[in-house]
Structure formats: structure tokens, C-alpha cells
């Protein structure tokens, strides 16, 4: 921060009141570093890395924070790509979360037509190339404000790997790395602006393995016991369940191993499942039925079954206090305005999307309140059961775009995504400064958190499991 900017902040700060002049200076400080934040986002987009393998991405963000005066602790919670960066001292401790893992097989050029950069390679189909740098920009702006005003408090950035099923935040929570945090903030790329996003639901991710007996499929099939039959029998029974579970339930699976050759009865076969529901207790009941289907499949095919929980995500625990604060700050910042070139790109993308989504132009403002929320899951939900957490979605993709699609990767590698990232950074930065400046807001967020959580507590549900650093290599 320049001396002039620091002096301006000091002279404009009123007790218990962040003035509009101060807000403008904070936003200007992010604009002044716009090109650097865009560069970070593009570097991560150009070198997508899967969960727990984000060596370059995490190193890039950690080094940038260190260069901006943060003390960085690397390889936390037994995870080489997890880190915590801190600046300041005392309370409140306001944290911002950053993610940077990509998705397998989602390589895509920054074009409005489907074209992989490298066939079968990863891609940022959930926008985490924007997530991490956007949160970092907010943390740096908050650090500048703390330093220039000599205000008490600690700003902390959590580098959280493997959100896409690997549950990096779970292991960081288990190690107590959030134990002194007063408020946590997060954002996520999306096709809409929703500062009150509370649509993340609980999820269980597990891997099933069936073991049978190999045999020649033509000469001695009676000697074999097909593990693939067991996988298919389980899938069949779970699919029949779909008619008899609550409508909000989501069940997904893939067959990850199905045998070596069709003339060999498969002695090993495997599948991976995710089951979701907004209510944690209901999810656990549904999950027991899925396990019963797996047990029955093994019994009926003469095979054995074993399973391993890979992650267990809590639903997000919303916080209206933080949502309203983010909403007010989003309104100050404003949404994304497309240039003529960006408008042409967006129109080309829109022609590839199914009808019924948000219209072009909606990226400028808040999404309508009656817009159908998503049913995604994230380990941000687990953080929200430990710390009052504000979570928002910001339009970095063309309206109507779904996550985990080539269209999301394409927009996330252009100025459309980068503009949305900066909207998120500015909204988060203003929210962080409000929390530092007005302790009553922190208390109000905590009181709501305690009221909503009640007697329930987050519990570790993965046994003695260590971070699955190889889960994307299996």
C-alpha cells in the first residue's frame, strides 16, 4: 500500500464506521493489483492439478501471500499442498478460504466450443483457479487495511486442497487449525451472484470393492464368482431405491474397475459412490440402505465386499448475519459488465446450453430469490459447523452454465471469469474489514451460529484415516 493510501485510510476511518471513502480506497487497492491476480488465476488455469497433487498451485499462492507480509505455514495436517497464512495479532481472527484443485478429464480451451487442450487431462470445471486467487486478493486487501489503521485482529488465509471429494478441510479441522477462528468467509465461482448461498448439502463419498473367483469364462464358468456381477447387482438395487428415497436425494456412481478381459471371470471389481441429502440424519439412513444393497449383492453373487469412506461432508450451516453483510457489500461493488467481445463469447456459449437457465445480463445483479438452488456439496460445510461461516456465489461463468462442464472451464480461463473473481475479492475484502471494524458484527454472527447449531457438534467420521493423498491416482 502506498503512503498516500495509508494516510487516506487513517484519516477517513471513523470509530465503528467504515466510510465510503475508506471502502473506495480498499477497492482501489485491489484494482491496483488486478493484473497480478489475473496472472495468478491464469497460471493455475493453464496448469490444472488434481486434489492433493496441487504442488504448483499451492506454492504459487503461498509465495504470493508471503511476498505480501503473511507468515506462511506449509504442509499442514499432513498434507503437502495445504497451508495457512496469517497476518496481524489478536482478535478477531477472520479467515478466508482458498481452493485450487481441478477435476479429472475436464481439459478445455478458452473457446466457446468444446475443444480439449489435452485429451483426458484435468481442467478447472469448478473454477478453483479463480477461487484461490480471489480469496487471496481479499486477504491482501484486509492485511493492508489492518496495517494502515493499526487495528487489532488477525487475517488468515487457508489454502485448502482436494475439495473435489478428497476433503482437505476435514483433516485441517481435525488438527484444530480452525480452533481460534472467529469468522470464516468463502466464495465459489458460479453462473449467478448469490451472497446468501446455502445450497450445499451433506454428502458421503465411498469406494466399494468386491472380490470373487477368477475362471475361464467359456471352459469353466461354474468355477468363477464374478466380482463384476456383484458391482452390477449393487448398482441395480441402488437404482431401484431411487423411487423410494426423498426427492432431495442425489445418488451418483461410476464403475472404477470391471475386470481385465471378457473371457476371464472378474475376481476383482470396484465402484465409487456419492450419496447426498440436505439433512444429515436422513443421509445416514439412506446410506445404510446403500450398504445393505452392497452386502446383498455380495451375498447373492458369492463374493465378498469391502468399502472405504473417502469423505463425509456436512451440509452448510447458514449465517444470515454474514449473508446480509456480504449482500450489502456486493451491492456496493456491483456485478460483472461484459465488453462487446465478452458479450459475443457469452452469446456463443449460451447457444450450447439447455434452455431454462439464467439469462444473459443477470451477471450484473443478484440472482432472483426464487431461482432454484443447486445441490452441490463441499467441505466448506464442515467448516461452517465449527466456525460462523459466510459463503457466496459470484458469476464467473456465462449465466445458465452448470459446474463441472466444459463451458465452465472455458469461461474460467477468460476475462469473464477474471472479472467475476475480482467482484468476489472486493466483496470479501469489504466484508472482512466490516468484521474487523465492528466487533458487534462478529458477536452477532457467533450468536446466530450458536443458535442454529444448538446442541449438535461436528464430529470426525472417517476413523483413523490419514489424508488420501493418492485418491486421484487410484
Look at residues 313, 335, 365 and tell me which one is the last residue of a structural domain: 313
For residues 317 and 434, what is the distance between their CA atoms, to the nearest angstrom?
A: 21
**Together in a domain, 87 and 185:** yes
Task: Assess if residue 362 is contained within a domain.
Answer: yes
| 100-105 average pLDDT score | 98
pLDDT score recorded for residue 198: 63
Specify the number of domains making up the chain: 2
Asked if 124 and 9 count as a contact pair (C-beta separation under 8 A), the reply is no
Does residue 466 belong to any structural domain of this protein? no
pLDDT the model gives residue 351: 98
Q: Judge whether 26 and 433 are in contact, CB under 8 Å.
A: yes
Residue 9 confidence (pLDDT) = 39
The verdict on 50 and 141 lying in the same domain is yes
Whether residue 342 is found in the same domain as residue 245 = no
Q: How far apart are CA 359 and CA 343, in angstroms?
A: 12
Is the residue at 473 inside a domain?
no
Shared-domain flag, residues 169 and 224: no
State whether 361 and 398 are in the same domain: yes
Tell whether 295 and 380 lie within a shared domain: no
Residue 472 is assigned to a structural domain of this protein: no
Instruction: Enter the C-alpha cell of residue 58.
Output: 499451492
Quick check: 399 and 360 in contact, CB under 8 A? yes
Judged by average pLDDT, the poorest of 24-28, 37-41, 261-265 is 24-28
| 163 and 142 together in one domain | yes
Residue 296, pLDDT above cutoff 90: yes
The residues, any chain, with a CB within 8 Å of residue 61's CB and separated by 6 or more, are 40, 83, 98, 100, 132, 133, 136, 157, 159
pLDDT band at 199 (very low <50, low <70, confident <90, very high): confident
Judge if the upstream peptide bond of residue 92 is cis by omega within 30 degrees of 0: yes
The residues with which 95 forms a beta bridge, in sequence order, are: 156, 184
384/297 same-domain check: no
Residue 23 has φ and ψ, to the nearest 5°, of: -60, -45
One domain for residues 121 and 222: no
The answer on 161 and 26 residing in a single domain is: yes
Q: Residue 211 burial by CB count (10 A; 0-12/13-18/19+): exposed, middle or buried?
A: middle
Same structural domain, 279 and 411: no
In which residue are the cell numbers 481441478 written? 102
Same domain, 216 and 188: no
By three-state DSSP, how is residue 444 classified? helix
Residue 459 belongs to some domain of the structure:
no
Band (pLDDT 50/70/90 cuts) for residue 196 is confident
Task: Identify the CATH number of the domain in which residue 148 sits.
Answer: 3.40.630.10
- Name the residue range of residue 169's domain: 3-199+316-453
Strand order in the sheet with 304-313: 250-257, 268-277, 202-211, 304-313
Mean of all residue pLDDT scores within the chain: 94
- pLDDT of 151 above 60: yes
Amino acid at each position: 500500500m502506498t503512503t498516500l493510501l495509508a494516510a487516506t485510510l487513517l484519516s477517513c476511518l471513523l470509530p465503528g464506521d467504515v466510510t465510503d471513502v475508506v471502502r473506495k480506497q480498499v477497492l482501489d487497492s485491489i484494482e491496483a493489483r488486478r493484473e497480478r491476480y489475473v496472472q495468478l488465476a491464469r497460471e493455475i488455469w493453464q496448469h490444472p492439478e488434481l486434489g492433493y497433487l496441487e504442488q504448483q498451485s499451492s506454492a504459487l499462492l503461498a509465495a504470493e501471500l508471503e511476498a505480501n507480509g503473511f507468515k506462511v505455514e506449509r504442509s499442514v495436517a499432513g498434507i503437502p499442498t495445504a497451508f495457512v497464512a496469517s497476518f496481524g495479532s489478536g482478535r478477531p481472527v477472520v479467515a478466508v478460504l482458498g481452493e485450487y484443485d481441478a477435476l479429472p478429464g475436464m481439459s478445455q480451451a478458452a473457446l466457446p466450443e468444446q475443444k480439449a487442450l489435452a485429451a483426458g487431462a484435468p481442467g478447472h470445471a469448478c473454477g478453483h483457479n479463480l477461487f484461490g486467487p480471489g480469496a487471496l486478493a481479499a486477504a491482501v486487501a484486509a492485511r493492508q487495511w489492518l496495517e494502515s489503521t493499526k487495528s487489532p485482529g488477525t487475517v488468515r488465509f487457508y489454502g485448502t486442497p482436494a475439495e473435489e471429494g478428497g476433503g482437505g478441510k476435514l483433516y485441517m479441522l481435525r488438527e484444530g487449525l480452525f480452533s481460534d477462528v472467529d469468522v470464516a468467509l468463502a466464495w465459489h465461482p458460479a453462473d449467478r451472484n448469490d451472497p446468501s448461498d446455502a445450497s450445499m448439502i451433506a454428502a458421503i463419498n465411498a469406494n466399494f470393492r468386491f472380490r470373487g473367483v477368477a475362471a475361464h469364462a467359456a471352459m469353466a464358468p461354474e468355477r468363477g464368482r464374478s466380482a463384476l456381477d456383484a458391482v452390477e447387482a449393487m448398482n441395480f438395487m441402488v437404482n431401484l431405491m431411487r423411487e423410494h428415497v426423498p426427492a432431495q436425494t442425489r445418488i451418483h456412481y461410476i464403475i472404477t474397475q470391471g475386470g481385465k478381459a471378457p473371457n476371464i471371470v472378474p475376481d476383482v471389481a470396484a465402484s465409487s459412490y456419492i450419496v447426498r441429502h440436505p439433512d444429515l440424519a436422513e443421509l445416514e439412513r439412506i446410506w445404510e440402505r446403500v450398504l445393505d444393497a452392497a452386502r446383498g449383492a455380495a451375498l447373492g453373487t458369492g463374493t465378498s465386499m469391502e468399502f472405504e469412506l473417502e469423505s463425509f461432508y456436512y451440509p452448510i450451516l447458514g449465517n444470515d448475519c454474514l449473508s446480509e453483510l456480504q449482500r450489502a457489500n456486493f451491492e456496493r461493488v456491483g456485478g460483472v459488465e461484459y465488453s462487446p467481445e465478452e458479450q459475443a463469447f457469452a452469446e456463443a456459449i449460451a447457444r450450447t446450453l439447455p434452455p431454462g437457465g439464467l439469462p444473459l445480463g443477470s451477471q450484473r445483479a443478484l440472482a432472483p430469490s426464487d431461482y432454484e438452488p443447486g445441490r452441490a456439496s463441499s467441505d466448506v460445510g464442515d467448516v461452517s459447523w465449527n466456525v460462523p461461516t459466510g459463503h457466496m456465489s459470484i458469476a464467473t461463468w456465462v449465466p445458465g452454465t452448470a459446474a463441472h462442464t466444459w463451458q465452465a472451464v472455458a469461461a474460467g480461463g477468460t476475462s469473464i471469469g477474471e472479472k467475476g473473481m475480482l467482484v468476489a475479492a472486493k466483496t470479501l475484502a469489504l466484508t472482512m474489514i466490516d468484521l474487523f471494524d465492528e466487533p458487534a458484527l462478529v458477536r452477532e454472527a457467533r450468536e446466530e451460529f450458536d443458535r442454529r447449531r444448538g446442541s449438535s457438534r461436528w464430529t470426525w467420521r472417517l476413523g483413523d484415516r490419514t489424508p488420501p493423498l493418492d485418491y486421484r491416482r487410484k
